[in-house]
Amino acid sequence: MFKQISLNRQQSTALHKHSIRTAFTLVELLVVITIIGMLVAIAIPAVTAARDRARQDKCISNIKQTNMATLEYVTRYTYFPGWKNQYRGVTKTSNVVTGSWVSALLPFFGEGALEKKWVEGEQDTACLLYLICPSDVRPDKIDPHLSYIVNCGNTTGSSRDAGIFLNLEPTSSNKRPAKQTLDFISSNDGVSSTIMTSENNQAYMWGKDANISWQGFVFFDSNPNNMGTSQAINWDYRGIKMSAQTSRNANTADLYARPSSYHPGGVNTSWCDSRVVKLHDDIDYEIYKMMLAPNDRGCGVSQASLSILHEMINVQ
């Protein structure tokens, strides 16, 4: 009997000890919660960075696709499309339609059916996801949304060496406008020194009222930061600081026709040699002008500035 009682006590003690070991103390719970908090703190930035990188990669892919479509257009027609173009219908020959550079590139984006609707006057402005940067978070995003714009050169100039995408709409006298060619670029500054496309935070609908301020980026004869204290414009590639001033003999809307991006640190751009380069926010304005002008006479820069540009291109 005594042995049985002793055995029962030992079993009861063992069960009691086992029940105590299975419970967590307050200190242990706090340690676990702290570890979980640390892991979450480490994981969230990593996940955010991965998502940002994925959006960056998709944006670069979109720009490359636009670059390829443009060069295919040049191969077929020997000149670049305009930022503004005029089309005459096939079945409705009396129908004349004005469209942006996007409408000109529709067949080279694989949108032949949409292009036919366009030139016949239907102007179907469908949503084209490869023209929308995934980081573009504007609340007014609509179907024909546009995140990318093209190099239109000097906003006050009209000569062929001012930019890449020119106004190809015939004048009132039906005079044929000048057209930019890849040979002209290659024989002057070169394709590796001339920017083609860029991101923009204020780009508008691709099929609505072709306008340089909505679908292209430009440079001005003078640095907007050097226009005088009372009438200065804060030239910010990210679009954070922008103010209008009207004494520059330029449309104030053109102030938004510049590279801008929702990506941190700079703006994704493509060049005439098919490279994609990220422009830094603090780029010198003289260098910026030379990037847009295929012939430096089009922006009036010095030889010293040109040397700086070439050094920068070689570094990239």
Within 8 A by CB and 6+ apart from 159, the residues are: 178, 298
Confidence (pLDDT) at 231: 33
Question: Measured between alpha carbons, how far is 67 from 170 in angstroms, rounded to an integer?
Answer: 25
pLDDT, tens digit (0-9, with 9 covering 90-100), for 180-236: 999 999 998 889 889 999 998 878 888 766 777 788 888 877 665 554 333 333 344
User: Could you give the percent of the chain with pLDDT greater than 70?
Assistant: 63
Confidence (pLDDT) at 304: 64
Phi-psi map region of 20: left, alpha, beta (phi>0 left; psi -120 to 50 alpha): alpha
Pairing of strands 96-100, 266-271: unpaired
User: In the structure, what pLDDT confidence band is assigned to residue 276 with cuts at 50, 70 and 90?
Assistant: very high
Q: How far is CA 57 from CA 52, 61, 70, 288, in A?
A: 9, 6, 20, 24
Confidence (pLDDT) at 250: 45
Confidence (pLDDT) at 233: 38
Highest mean pLDDT among 28-37, 84-93, 248-257, 269-278: 269-278
pLDDT, tens digit (0-9, with 9 covering 90-100), for 65-81: 999 999 999 999 999 99
pLDDT, tens digit (0-9, with 9 covering 90-100), for 106-158: 999 998 888 887 777 666 667 888 899 988 877 555 667 889 999 998 876 66
Is 63 or 38 the better-scoring residue by pLDDT? 63
Per-residue pLDDT, averaged over 79-90, amounts to 83
Query: DSSP labels for the chain?
Result: -HHHHHHHHHHHHHHHHHHHHTSPPHHHHHHHHHHHHHHHHHHHHHHHHHHHHHHHHHHHHHHHHHHHHHHHHHHHHSSPPPSEEEEE-SSSTT-EEEEEHHHHHGGGGT-HHHHHHHHTT-------GGGS-TT---TT--TT---EEEEEEETT--SGGG-SS-B-S--TT-PPPP---HHHHHHTT-GGG-EEEEE-TT---TTSS--HHHHEEEE-SS-GGGS-STT-----TTSSS-----TTSS-GGGGG-S---SSTTEEEEEETTS-EEEEETT--HHHHHHHH-SSGGGTT--HHHHHHHHHHHHH-
Amino acid at 276: V
Confidence (pLDDT) at 306: 61
R_g of the chain, CA atoms, integer Å = 30
- pTM, to two decimals: 0.75
Mean of the per-residue pLDDT values for the chain? 74
Confidence (pLDDT) at 107: 92
Confidence (pLDDT) at 247: 39
Per-residue pLDDT, averaged over 305-314, amounts to 59
Q: Using alpha carbons, select from 272, 292, 309, 253 the residue that is nearest to residue 153.
A: 292
